[in-house]
Chains A and B, each alone.
Chain A
């Protein structure tokens, strides 16, 4: 009875949020289509904005707004309200989209490996996300209300183009909710035989609906940055596919898909750390240690390709609009990229630190721990290169002392080629940490193990040489097009080093002997704080970079099409933006801790 009442309450909550979304999406879409009077074209009366049965379909240009078109509420700063609501919604949405993806993967692994540990962890992951799901729906509702209250004309314009996708969004939200509740509450009743396969199929439907939801929302967001399917006045040309498939849609889809997985992994890792630190028994500590490791593994697995997806997105922003690209990385926002570099560096360092601490689980790890300091040195060096700025804000006296605007030796490190070299090497060395962790407790028995090791060392050396050569030669001694293009073979080199060494290593460790029993739970407590740091850094990073991506539109709602005429149509100072995002991060993390606590409460009940 208790279970069904919980199901009912949560379902009602999500259903109410869905109905509110649908109830507002429909009138907004239709009111925009109906407001205008018919106009005469070619001697025949045609309706504007989307009535096919009344003749030729015509759409209005983007509205030219004035400051008085923006409703104000005394004491509520409109931009800040929308910013905060959007940020909260995105954080939770990223979490609840990502968790089902790897829950599905882990559940499938458990089925194939016939290991019940996977099933337990997967169930615990989904239980954490279920409360977050309700909050995602609530914050989505708050965002929609904020937009309706403060930016009604923008919403009307977007709805006139994307109205049908907004309805599809609401419908998919319904499908996702249904699938999620069947997936969660059906976990135990559908745990054996054919029902388990049916349960996996429900998980697949859940993920398909969730991912499609994200792609639809991405279309609206990227349209605001790189509008397509409209004429220069902003009038929709009638081809929805063109508006959806704008220049930045696919790069954003890829980047958000990967980063959501990394983010979800990091939040679940923080949950495991929280549980590990509060565990009272050795069994619980072992379980949550394993859970933290699995979540961290997923987070790092997704973090490794993430810089490359981000690079593609940025390259496409430059390709779409040089001005937007330069504003992004060469102008006012460049310094936020320095903060980004510091945060990404923290992510890599904490992820590596967690792996190094994790070597304590293996009795044979002493053979590899001496190498850790060298890996740490290289990663730290790359970290320093990554956050070396190119353009420095200087006083005249400092410029004179420096001999110019740029530092004579460090200036080249401020350019992208140096940063591309640094990030690729950082990724390769993070993988090396994983490789050492993996073999820490094993002794290979194959006869060619010695040459296998030699080959892996040669592969790393040749790969790093190639990464450095591509970055230095094409980055500094050829023209700009080659500079950007050289990043592709660099990424390919990194990917090859990882894949080939993984294959060779796996073959080498086939039938390997164990030095001693692997001990889950035997890690220092400080390693758990690295997991928490990972989650906080991810959250902060997403907030800051999300702000930058959105703010490069500057005084445009829809870039170059629909101007922002509100009193807030200016770029705030970096300090202000960082304060807003930091406050958001604190609120979000507080809610996440509350969710963890709720989950613990549910266990006790």
Chain B
């Protein structure tokens, strides 16, 4: 039971962090050249 709870918490926190990372990368100024190229 503890393991399942630990898994759910870890999964939710990690998913949130990944989504945050996606947002940061999409908004990174240094990467805007990628959009301009297309």
Take A451-B6, A458-B7, A492-B21 as given contacts and tell me if A465 and B15 are in contact as well, using a CB distance cutoff of 8 Å: yes
What are the residues of chain A within 8 A of B19 when measuring CB–CB?
466
Tell me whether A462 and B25 are in contact (CB under 8 A).
no
Q: How far is the CB of B21 from chain A (nearest CB, A)?
A: 6
Q: How far is the CB of A2 from chain B (nearest CB, A)?
A: 58
What are the residues of chain A within 8 A of B7 when measuring CB–CB?
454, 457-458
Tell me whether A488 and B38 are in contact (CB under 8 A).
no
Question: Could you give, for residues 1-38 of chain B, a 1 whenever the CB lies within 8 Å of some chain A CB and a 0 otherwise?
Answer: 00100110011001100110110011000010011011
Residue A93 at the chain B interface, CB threshold 8 Å: no
A318→B26 CA distance, assembly (Å): 20
Chain A interface SS verdict (over half): helix
Tell me whether A489 and B11 are in contact (CB under 8 A).
no
- A: number of interface residues (CB 8 Å): 27
Residue A523 at the chain B interface, CB threshold 8 Å: no
**B-contacting 9-mer, from A429-437, A479-487, A549-557:** A479-487
Residue of A nearest to B28 (CB): A488
Residue A319 at the chain B interface, CB threshold 8 Å: yes
What are the residues of chain B within 8 A of A315 when measuring CB–CB?
34, 37
Question: Could you give, for residues 353-364 of chain A, a 1 whenever the CB lies within 8 Å of some chain B CB and a 0 otherwise?
Answer: 000000000000
What are the residues of chain B within 8 A of A441 when measuring CB–CB?
none
What are the residues of chain B within 8 A of A470 when measuring CB–CB?
22
Residue of A nearest to B3 (CB): A454
Tell me whether A459 and B14 are in contact (CB under 8 A).
yes
Tell me whether B37 and A319 are in contact (CB under 8 A).
yes
Tell me whether B37 and A466 are in contact (CB under 8 A).
no
A57→B15 CA distance, assembly (Å): 60
Q: Between A and B, how many residue pairs show CB distances below 8 Å?
A: 64
A466→B19 CA distance, assembly (Å): 7
Residue A450 at the chain B interface, CB threshold 8 Å: yes
Tell me whether A462 and B26 are in contact (CB under 8 A).
no
Tell me whether B38 and A480 are in contact (CB under 8 A).
yes
A484→B3 CA distance, assembly (Å): 38
Q: How far is the CB of A320 from chain B (nearest CB, A)?
A: 9
Take A463-B18, A466-B15, A489-B21 as given contacts and tell me if A318 and B37 are in contact as well, using a CB distance cutoff of 8 Å: yes
Residue A594 at the chain B interface, CB threshold 8 Å: no
Tell me whether A450 and B10 are in contact (CB under 8 A).
no
Question: Could you give, for residues 465-500 of chain A, a 1 whenever the CB lies within 8 Å of some chain B CB and a 0 otherwise?
Answer: 110001000000000111011001100110010000
Tell me whether A450 and B18 are in contact (CB under 8 A).
no
What are the residues of chain B within 8 A of A462 when measuring CB–CB?
10-11, 14-15, 18
Residue A586 at the chain B interface, CB threshold 8 Å: no
Take A466-B18, A466-B22 as given contacts and tell me if A454 and B34 are in contact as well, using a CB distance cutoff of 8 Å: no
Of A458, A463, A484, most B-chain CB atoms within 10 Å? A458
What are the residues of chain A within 8 A of B25 when measuring CB–CB?
488-489, 492
Tell me whether A319 and B38 are in contact (CB under 8 A).
yes
Residue of B nearest to A320 (CB): B37
Tell me whether A459 and B15 are in contact (CB under 8 A).
no
What are the residues of chain B within 8 A of A318 when measuring CB–CB?
37-38
Q: How far is the CB of A459 from chain B (nearest CB, A)?
A: 6
Residue A461 at the chain B interface, CB threshold 8 Å: yes
A496→B25 CA distance, assembly (Å): 14
Tell me whether B10 and A493 are in contact (CB under 8 A).
no
Residue A455 at the chain B interface, CB threshold 8 Å: yes
Q: How far is the CB of B10 from chain A (nearest CB, A)?
A: 4
Partner of A481, one of B3, B14, B38: B38
Q: How far is the CB of A384 from chain B (nearest CB, A)?
A: 26
What are the residues of chain A within 8 A of B6 when measuring CB–CB?
451, 454-455, 458
What are the residues of chain B within 8 A of A485 when measuring CB–CB?
26, 31, 34-35
Take A485-B26, A489-B22, A492-B25 as given contacts and tell me if A458 and B34 are in contact as well, using a CB distance cutoff of 8 Å: no
A485→B22 CA distance, assembly (Å): 10
A458→B17 CA distance, assembly (Å): 12
What are the residues of chain B within 8 A of A319 when measuring CB–CB?
37-38
Question: Could you give, for residues 493-531 of chain A, a 1 whenever the CB lies within 8 Å of some chain B CB and a 0 otherwise?
Answer: 100100000000000000000000000000000000000
Q: How far is the CB of B27 from chain A (nearest CB, A)?
A: 11
What are the residues of chain B within 8 A of A480 when measuring CB–CB?
38
Tell me whether A461 and B18 are in contact (CB under 8 A).
no
Q: Which 10 A-B pairs have the closest CB atoms?
A: A319-B37, A458-B10, A462-B14, A466-B18, A458-B11, A489-B22, A462-B15, A481-B35, A489-B25, A481-B38
- A residues in contact (CB < 8 Å) with B: 315-316, 318-319, 450-451, 454-455, 457-459, 461-463, 465-466, 470, 480-482, 484-485, 488-489, 492-493, 496
Extra contacts besides A315-B37, A485-B31, A493-B21 (13): CB < 8 Å: A318-B37, A451-B3, A454-B3, A454-B7, A457-B7, A458-B6, A458-B14, A462-B18, A466-B19, A481-B34, A488-B31, A493-B18, A496-B18
Give me 18 A-to-B residue pairs in the complex whose CB atoms sit less than 8 angstroms apart, sorted by A's number. Answer: A451-B3, A454-B6, A455-B10, A462-B10, A465-B15, A466-B15, A466-B19, A481-B34, A482-B26, A482-B35, A484-B34, A484-B38, A485-B34, A489-B21, A489-B25, A489-B26, A493-B21, A496-B21
